[in-house]
Chains A and B, each alone.
Chain A
Amino acid sequence: DAGITQSPRHKVTETGTPVTLRCHQTENHRYMYWYRQDPGHGLRLIHYSYGVKDTDKGEVSDGYSVSRSKTEDFLLTLESATSSQTSVYFCAIRKTGTENTEAFFGQGTRLTVV
């Protein structure tokens, strides 16, 4: 298995509270991604990173921010959680962005906002 660890694996939080999810990799891959998975929508890209301190928005970035201060860590923050952000969040890594490479996924974080 690719060395990707997501933490926490499960979290229940209250509306309006900040939440940070962590993705940690041991593969030294350049690209890291955050997706959310919801029934009927498949996986939707939230944000991604193409290097330390280099990030960009995905399809559903509103209400989320990210940071990557080290190659191995990519943090996803919900500044003020809402019920619509209840979802399963997946982190993925890729060796390169456009040179025909596959992505490796973490096991997911199930977030419930009550």
Chain B
Amino acid sequence: SQQGEEDPQALSIQEGENATMNCSYKTSINNLQWYRQNSGRGLVHLILIRSNEREKHSGRLRVTLDTSKKSSSLLITASRAADTASYFCATDHNTDKLIFGTGTRLQVFP
């Protein structure tokens, strides 16, 4: 299976704290993407990092990519209760497929 894995599986923090979640994958990629899913809803794209990029920022999001370790991390700074959701990484390989990881459930307490 090409499916990646994320850790932690679940994360609970207080508002204002930073949240970091990690994604590991198995084979070479064109890009890696992060998505968010609110309970019972479809996934929403957050950010895309290409295989030749090492870091990318979007608002309170910071994504890093280490292709030598086949891993990525998503950092959400100054978290808010509204950030409570599940977060998934997805890898775009040299095919037409987009393969998702197992996800991290983030709970942010007010």
Q: List A residues at the B interface (Cβ < 8 Å).
A: 31, 33, 35, 40-45, 48, 50, 56, 58-59, 90, 92, 94, 97-98, 100, 102-108
Q: Is the pair B88, A103 in contact by a Cβ cutoff of 8 Å? A: no
Q: Which residue from B1, B2, B43 sits with its C-beta under 8 Å from A43? A: B43
| A interface secondary structure, majority | strand
A33: chain B residues at CB < 8 Å are: 98
What is the distance, in angstroms, from A22's C-beta to the closest C-beta of chain B?
15
A56: chain B residues at CB < 8 Å are: 96
A102: chain B residues at CB < 8 Å are: 33, 45, 48
Q: Is the pair A42, B100 in contact by a Cβ cutoff of 8 Å? A: yes
Q: Is the pair A100, B31 in contact by a Cβ cutoff of 8 Å? A: yes
CA distance A105 to B44 in the complex (A): 7
Can you report 18 residue pairs joining A to B where beta carbons are below 8 Å apart? A41-B102, A43-B43, A44-B100, A45-B98, A45-B100, A56-B96, A59-B1, A97-B96, A98-B30, A98-B94, A100-B30, A100-B31, A100-B48, A100-B92, A102-B45, A104-B45, A106-B42, A108-B41
B106: chain A residues at CB < 8 Å are: none
